[in-house]
Amino acid sequence: MILAISHAYGCFNPKQLADFLGVNHQKIYAEISSWTLYKLQKVLKLLMVNVAVEQLQIIEKKSNSTQSRAKITLAVDDSVIDRVGKRLRCTFTWYSGRWKKVVNGQNILGIILTINGKAIPIGLKYCSKQGRKNTDKPSILIAMLKEIKEECLKENINISKYPITLDSWYVSKQLKEQLDELGFTKIIMAGKSSYVFEGEDFKGKGSEWKKRVDYQENHIKSV
């Protein structure tokens, strides 16, 4: 499986994968067969970050206008996948609006780097649908971003200077402060109609706030 996945990240044969991992290519199969789940996850993360770093190094050598046109952003979201297997690991239960009942499956939290319209996954992790204590999705997200930033800094790439977009489900004052500590200051929230906006003279759901926006020449005024 790892040999197949490595094709997507520039390693097209066992020798290239062995060179990337820093192991003897004649022992690559024995090396892979000894991996734990955590080791596999770490290697996949390094493969993903390696591709992102290569693309960023190319872009950052170019002019500011070229970098701007590349529209480099980080996107965060999670997706639930129904599973029917009885022996699968990392599964959770949640109420599915699609099936109108409690179902079993996996929830995957992902971080995507977009460059010139090309999406590069740089972080994927199983997580609980609801979470608890330090296993809730915002906490897992911060841990993932810390690891990704550390790996990128080894190649003199500061990933935190780029905008990051999040679903309103994640947004909170605490998360914003944690992102600020990591250096992420360009935070874009994909607000839903149910998200509560607060302004100088208004506090309410997004669906109501949009009705109060008055479009005027050269600027937008919230009334």
Same domain, 100 and 145: yes
User: What pLDDT does 220 receive?
Assistant: 43
Residue 91 lies in a domain: yes
CATH number at residue 81: 3.30.420
The dihedrals phi and psi of 215, each to the nearest 5 degrees, come to -85, 120
Residue 30 lies in a domain: no
Expressed as residue numbers, the domain containing 121 is: 70-191
Residue 19 lies in a domain: no
Rounded CA gap, 71 and 48, in Å?
Answer: 19
User: What pLDDT does 132 receive?
Assistant: 62
Identify the segments of the chain with pLDDT beneath 70. 84-85, 89, 129-134, 170, 190-223
Residue 81 lies in a domain: yes
Same domain, 203 and 183: no
Quote the pTM value: 0.73
79 closest CA partner among 121, 38, 114, 25: 121
Residue 33 lies in a domain: no
Same domain, 151 and 218: no
Same domain, 75 and 112: yes
